[in-house]
Amino acid sequence: MDHRPIAARLAGAAAILLFISACSDRAPNPVAPSPDQSASFSSAVTQQEVLSNAVIHRTVPGQAAERSQGAGHGRPGGSKNLSYHGGIGGIGVETAPKVYLVLYGSQWNGNDPSGEAGIVDSFLSKVFGSSWLNSVTQYCQGVSTGTISCNGAGQAAGNQNGIYAGVWADGGAAAPSRPSQSDLAAEAVRAAAHFGNTSSASNASVQYVIATATGNNSSGFGTQYCAYHSATSSQYGNIAYTNLPYITDAGASCGANFNGLGAKAGITIVEGHELAETISDQFPNGGWLDGGGAENGDKCAWISSGQGASANVSIGGMSFPVQSLWSNAFNSNAGGCVLSF
């Protein structure tokens, strides 16, 4: 892992362009629906169909989604607890997660007014092994579709220490002014090549966080979504990635001052949401979802009071604003939103 300050990594970004140019002709061309697309699939749908349809899961804006803790905590009409959906290519969760941060485009160079790159970098470097993230370990793969409690069966999702694997300041050329989903997916594939993850096996438990600079976010940000995670097929296997816009650009719509947690609270609330969802549902929708299609982050988003309300949590000796995550095991297996597990 590169431990240099973010500014030092940005300074070396020009050299990275040479590498991008060498491999950019190999990037895939996934279908790019509008960012508000969300879909589910049955076990009869093939892996390739799912990935080519670019299924996404969004963190919806706070002002549109804020709710108190109540029955269901998710989309109307769905069963309350999460269940396993069979996996995509045998993968449903990240058993040994590795997370890479990508600062996409030269728009980042000397241009980070809220210090978001450093905040995300710090959060990802400390969050693994935390009690906040540990609820993901109750979910697993290698069990029957419809399983609600793994009870030690299958292979559990991971929360090991030290899984933040690297950061790439890809600043040698500008990113598109409004990156499409195809652009973001292609950047994730370039990141896989940059980090040497050039086989299906090397991407089997990996996620790439594609962060865009201030004023450089994809369409729909702040009105239709705050961030989303998805997956794309590639010559390096299936690749999971997150579209992480410059969160403070959306103000209160994406978490600024939510629950009195500060103007920058949304940065880690939103990234934490997507991080946990990708671990428990790496290639949507093959992992753990409720009967209405909600993941462990969706069911606990923007809770402002009571059990599971967003709060500052001590992680790795620092305090970070986070939302709670859904735990099937909470309250004698009735399920609920928890800040530790």
Axis-axis angle for helices 181-194, 13-23 (nearest 10): 100
Lowest-confidence region among 14-18, 57-61, 126-130, 278-282: 14-18
Cis peptide leading into residue 312 (ω within 30°): no
**Three-state SS for 243?**
strand
Name the token pair of 11.
């300074």
Which pLDDT band, with edges at 50, 70 and 90, does 30 fall under? very low
Task: At 180, give phi and psi (nearest 5°).
Answer: -85, 170
Give the separation between CA 314 and CA 327, rounded to whole angstroms: 19
Name the token pair of 82.
């999460």
Q: pTM to 2 decimals?
A: 0.84
Q: Are 115 and 248 in contact (CB under 8 A)?
A: no
pLDDT digits (tens, 9 = 90+) for 181-207: 999 999 999 999 999 999 999 999 999
pLDDT digits (tens, 9 = 90+) for 66-97: 433 333 333 333 469 999 999 999 999 999 99
Task: At 55, give phi and psi (nearest 5°).
Answer: -60, 135
Q: Which amino acid is at 120?
A: V
Give the separation between CA 116 and CA 180, rounded to whole angstroms: 21
Beta bridge partners, 169, equal 103
Distances in Å between the alpha carbon of 106 and those of 75, 112, 174, 230? 39, 11, 5, 24
